[in-house]
Structure 1
């Protein structure tokens, strides 16, 4: 009889703890944040994470000293706006000039590559190889690849031109 009472008490204790254990297992996703608090999840309209494991990576706040450095005051402070390093104006002009020269050379390379791609594309009718004559799918894939390459190259050129305009304007 004592064994039956002991087993029943043990079973009741497990049943009483089970909902608490299940509540702790429930994880909610709120955008890029995760929480196990049902109240916060309800307030933020979070979604329950089902069938996956969540790994928590603890990070230290930006104001905390790096681990293993002892006291935070011993490390050198980050430069503030008042302590920013001043560059000699002539040196800055030389750097800007070098940057413009590099951008100009990149622009020329990109324009040459675009010209070669457009020549190969041939207004949508590239020359077919022997394999492409037998298999039109290969030809269509090359045509799409050329279109994508041309669009990417035009985008690169536009980006380089924007950067050049930014350097020329300053």
Structure 2
């Protein structure tokens, strides 16, 4: 049988105290005394009657509950009137500022696209149509195959990144 360590037993005691404290607040019919008994093989048991030898009555702390505050929405109040602006309550930005932001975003995306395309081209060159040159540390053929598979995965990820950046650029307003 499993015998909990004293540390686990104390954790069980704390958990049981919390459960019983909660039950005593929610259902007063179960607010009777709680006893900690030593069961077979020394396993602690929690009971509501202490008529068995080796049981000790637990003195559990009183549970203090504080009622929460109700928000106006949950209290049945009328919902706030909807905002008339299309931004959903966000501050509006003038057209010149927005165009400047869009221009900066386009520049960043174009720079990322150029970097990713360079990376993709370098990976394709190294991959060499599935026949990359063997390196000195690849005497074991499996290492070569692993590196080839890694290169293929890197190429696929890089191509997906290029496609994604191009989609982003296509979605930008002119």
* TM-score scaled by length of structure 2: 0.50
Whether 1:85 aligns to 2:99 is: no
The total of aligned residue pairs comes to 99
Whether 1:96 aligns to 2:94 is: no
Match of 2:123?
Answer: 117
Give the Cα separation in 1 of the matches to 2:101 and 2:129: 41
Where does structure 1 lack aligned partners over 5 or more consecutive residues? 1-68
Match of 1:107?
Answer: 113
Matches within 5 A, 1:21-60: none
Match for 1:141 among 146, 150, 160?
A: 146
Give the Cα separation in 1 of the matches to 2:167 and 2:92: 27
Where does structure 2 lack aligned partners over 5 or more consecutive residues? 1-67, 73-79
Offset of 1:129 from its aligned partner?
1.2
* TM-score scaled by length of structure 1: 0.51
Offset of 1:84 from its aligned partner?
3.7
Give the Cα separation in 1 of the matches to 2:84 and 2:164: 30
Query: What is the alpha-carbon root mean square deviation over aligned residues?
Result: 2.6
Match of 2:158?
Answer: 153
Greater helix content: 1
Give the Cα separation in 1 of the matches to 2:117 and 2:148: 20
